[in-house]
Homo-oligomer: A and B are copies of this chain.
Amino acid sequence: MSQTILYKKVSRESKPENTIVRVGSVEFGGLHPVLIAGPCTVESENQLMAIATGVKKSGAHMLRGGAFKPRSSPYAFQGMGIEGLKLLKKASAATGLPVVTEIMSSEDLPAFLEHDIDMLQIGSRNMQNFSLLKALSKVNKPILLKRGMSATVEEFLLAAEYLMHQGNNQVVLCERGIRTFEQSTRNILDLNSLALIRQLSHLPIIADPSHAAGRYDLVTPLAIAALGAGANGLIIEVHHEPEEALCDGKQSLTLGSFEKLMLCVNR
């Protein structure tokens, strides 16, 4: 099928020039890669402030942190919920960093809007939650759409098409690793698809080496690799005390490692 028929709004055929998505003063798709950093999960005010001020100091442009968490088990920590949203905004106010956090259901949308969350993330497990996509298509908020862990490039771009279908043009894509036979690392960062999507679509696309690697010691090489393949930015899990983290501690950089990563990126 010609791309024009398959995709009406996401393809370069429909819009040849790169789209710039703005979140406050941050620009995705512009000249410089955007660096998003923060913990897997908001755990407490102290934790979030320590991390937010740390990554800000190293040069991060945005803060990430989960308040509503998609956990495989009902017995795992499900996130702080609305309290987490409040802490994110507090950390944002203190550091000047806009925040991105995951929304898992359209039922939570009023709370995200009330707390004026800067950018809404759709997680991998919800990439084809079409009810959520339709709801966010009508919202005037930038969206960070993560690729499903076994979604094809076509399915990924069609999920973005759902978001744009009813008017939301502020879509940033995120490659976060795919599920394959190889399990010596958590997922495989698919830079083939990232580079291909740079050609197929005008939308910005960033990479998440933390979830792709699943272990902190591979995050930096994969981050550098992703930028080399053309990523418009990175989203990195950082924790001030990874071994104490409630979630994903194994794949979190320390503040010191993140500072080194920033030095590599800005070289």
Contact with B along A89-109 (1 / 0, CB 8 A): 000000000000000111110
Tell me if A213 is interfacial: C-beta within 8 Å of chain B.
yes
Question: Is A131 interfacial (CB 8 A cutoff)?
Answer: yes
A155 within 8 A of B: yes
Contact A184/B154 with A217-B199, A226-B225, A229-B222 known, Cβ cut-off 8 Å = yes
Closest Cβ of chain B: how far from A264's Cβ, in Å? 9
Query: How many monomers of this chain does the complex have?
Result: 4
Q: Which B residue sits closest to A177, measured CB to CB?
A: B192
Interface-forming stretch among A15-23, A25-33, A71-79, A110-118?
Answer: A71-79
Q: In the complex the two chains form, is A193's CB within 8 Å of B185's CB?
A: yes
Instruction: Report the separation of the CA atoms of residues A105 and B106 in the bound assembly, to the nearest whole angstrom.
Output: 9
Select the stretch in A41-49, A51-59, A145-153, A233-241 that faces chain B.
A145-153
- Tell me if A74 and B161 are in contact (CB < 8 A): yes
Cβ A218 vs Cβ B195 within 8 A: yes
| Stretch from A80-88, A122-130, A242-250, A253-261 forming part of the interface with B | A122-130
Q: Which B residues are in CB contact (< 8 Å) with A128? A: 70, 72, 125-126
Q: Which residues of B contact A178 (CB under 8 A)?
A: 180-182, 188
Bitwise interface map of A from 157 to 197 toward B, beta carbon under 8 Å scored 1, else 0: 01001100100000000000111111111011111110110
- Taking A150-B179, A224-B228 as known contacts, 7 extra A-B pairs with beta carbons closer than 8 A to each other, sorted by chain A number, are A8-B75, A180-B181, A188-B192, A189-B191, A191-B225, A221-B229, A221-B230
The interface of chain A, by Cβ under 8 A from chain B, is 6, 8, 70-75, 104-108, 125-126, 128-132, 149-150, 152-155, 158, 161-162, 165, 177-185, 187-193, 195-196, 198-199, 212-213, 217-218, 221-222, 224-230
